[in-house]
Amino acid sequence: MLRPYQEDQLNAVLDNYMQGVHQQLVVAATGTGKTVLFSNLVSKLSHVLPGKILVIVHREELVDQAIKAMRHWNPSLKVGKEMASTYADTDCDVVVSSVASIGREGATRMQRFGWDSFDKIIIDEAHHAPASTYLNVLEEAGSLKSDTKKLL
């Protein structure tokens, strides 16, 4: 069960999205359940954003943590890992990747996915987002276009 402040955060994301804010930042202290929070965005936004979700993490150990949480909170979704020698199926509902695997310039991994089907891009530890590896993915996914309806 979600904590009341997590419900409030999810409602705030939805409310802001409905008001046209497609690039959002959720700030929460260590240990308050940010992974649980972004795992629950799928169900909270499914009526307005029914597409796939990409979760980008900074460190490899966070990939498995995010996959475990996504599977726990979304047991009916197909969750895939895109990292090193592991490739997510292109029909996954959720793709979790380390930025080092998916964001390197010239990496062919990004071209494997039909980015039009991804409408939610989550960056764990968003303070890293200005790095070129993150920007490569966001550009490829179309998340930075001014007319996008995708949630970043």
pTM for this one? 0.93
What is the gyration radius of the CA atoms in the chain, in angstroms? 14
Q: What angle do CA 48, 54, 60 make, to 5 degrees?
A: 150
Is the domain 4-141 a CATH 3.50.50.60 member? no
Separation of alpha carbons 22 and 80, rounded Å: 24
pLDDT per residue of the chain (152 residues) written in tens, 0 to 9: 999 999 999 999 999 999 999 999 999 999 999 999 999 999 999 999 999 999 999 888 899 999 999 999 999 999 999 998 999 999 999 999 998 888 876 666 777 888 899 999 999 989 989 999 899 899 989 999 999 999 99
- What crossing angle do the helices spanning 34-45 and 4-18 adopt, rounded to 10°? 50
Name 57's bridge partners. Answer: 98
Separation of alpha carbons 73 and 22, rounded Å: 23
Spans of all domains in the chain: 4-141
